[in-house]
Chains A and B, each alone.
Chain A
Amino acid sequence: MVFFNKTFREEIMSGCNIAFRYKGAKNNPVFLFPIPSFSTIIIKMLRTGVRTFTAALRRQPQSQHQKTVTRFALQRRLLTTARDEEKARNRAAIGVFNWKSAALFLGTGAGLLLYFRQEKERVTKLREEKARETSKAYGKPKIGGPFELINAENGKRFDSTKELAGKFYMVYFGFTHCPDICPEELDKMAEVVDIAKEKKEPLVPVFITCDPRRDSAEIVKEYVKDFHPDMIGLTGDQDEIRKVAKSFRVYVSSPPSVEEGEDYLVDHSIFFYLMDPDGKFVDCYAKDTTAEEVVSSYEKYYKEYYADKK
């Protein structure tokens, strides 16, 4: 079967540069060289011829269709070279997968990936915004509201709708005779105000006393000056204070029967109430939040508020 000698075979192999991976072709002599030998053709011809002849003898005469099929099969067999056969075998092994289709596949894949990523980002952003809007519309409790008290600074009436309009302010309810909690919280509030001032996000601290019986204007004035120069101290009479405390849902409880000059403590809830420039409630901060946490939260609300306004 081997017409060409070994060196010629090797030359042809090196010139081919195609990786042959056809299984079972290792020992196939046809695999070794690309050009079919003359003898192979002759043998194939004879084989097919014999087969057709014997088939014709044995069976009914072939139908027209069958004759066409046989003729085409014969042609295909005769004219197919080994290389074509190898190619066909390789193509069969790899299937529809060649370099061009691979490149196309990867390109489409990459394109789709990028497109979907973009779309996903867009949709998540939209969803976030919608969630924020709905929470804004329904989620804010109706805490606080306009109030009118006495400003400890000058003893005059203090109307929140006039004096605090257009500014963010933070309210704390306490009393001057508080042992340790109010001083701590007011120090924290002063720190928050200072940090916010540095960041150019002004915040007005407001102290409202829950103990108007003992905390007159002068006392409150001196008290708040000790913490921060910007702090506004407010007082009033029992009814006014009770109304404001109620609107802020602040728990305040004085001992019921106290005599003049007697010493007592007022029980009250410990929260900072952040209000926006429209006088609406934004958020409240408990005793365990640090000044930094309060400031970062405040910053978010500040930016949100002014971003909306723009």
Chain B
Amino acid sequence: MKTIDPVTLATPFFILTVILEIVLARFGKLKATYETSDTAVSLTMGLISSLAGLLTAGASFAAAMWIYQHRLFTIPMTAVWAWIAVFLLEDLTYYWFHRLSHERRFWWAAHVNHHSSQHYNLSTALRQTWTGGLAGTWALWLPLSLIGFPPAMVAIQKGVSLVYQYWIHTEAIRRLPKPFEAVLNTPSHHRVHHARNPRYLDSNYAGILIVWDRMFGTFQPELDEEACRYGLVHNLGTFNIVRVAFHEWIGIVQDIVRQPRHILGWLFGPPGWSPDGSRDTSASLKAQWAARQGAPPTVPAKDAV
């Protein structure tokens, strides 16, 4: 089936804006920090990811087509209401995909790559996984085809979401006007998502609409008194791209080989889970942080945007 791919269409725009961000930062016109090895890793991850995606794209699209043949309703691709519906439902699916990708190690192993830069600039957006297809999360979008959205329509909306999320990977934009910050995922909200500060961990999973985080209790505003520090809880100590791409998968295998009877915990526990609790999870880091502050880790609702 011939369909349009928003990501391919947007690629020249990605390249031009990265160039612009580097040049303007060099002349002090906007806030952005780049580092050569980091940029090389991020962009190469993105380049290879587009190839890796092709390997599983056929299988996942075929699965969606098969499900679509058993659909409950027939939703026309030409109706405006259908596009509004797919926009909302795809974004809701993305929220849960993204939350799963952070809360369970098996899926974190594929998603961790996107978070392993200590920088936050437009090139970070292109730091994409090579193993997302293997992690099988594409299956989360199949129910949309079962409802009756044509697979091509779902694929287009997924692409639109990815392109939307590109531009929010920047420190150059501080805050948008309040109504936008209230409804949309913005550079400010997504900076928090990429931060390793304990109080910012595991929040703002949104794709396009931040309302899902507000609804499901994972929203955390960016606070002026706490600047985001980016990267992983345990930052990478290498720019070797093979290690960058596969370290969490290798870690899982090493743990299972060492203690096979804990295989379920090693695979599906939260990242940082260990049988004796000797490692740090987001929850334990947040609790330790809160204990040091003598306050609960969440922000009172009145402080939220």
A pairs with B: no
Binding site for A on B (CB under 8 A): none
Binding site for B on A (CB under 8 A): none
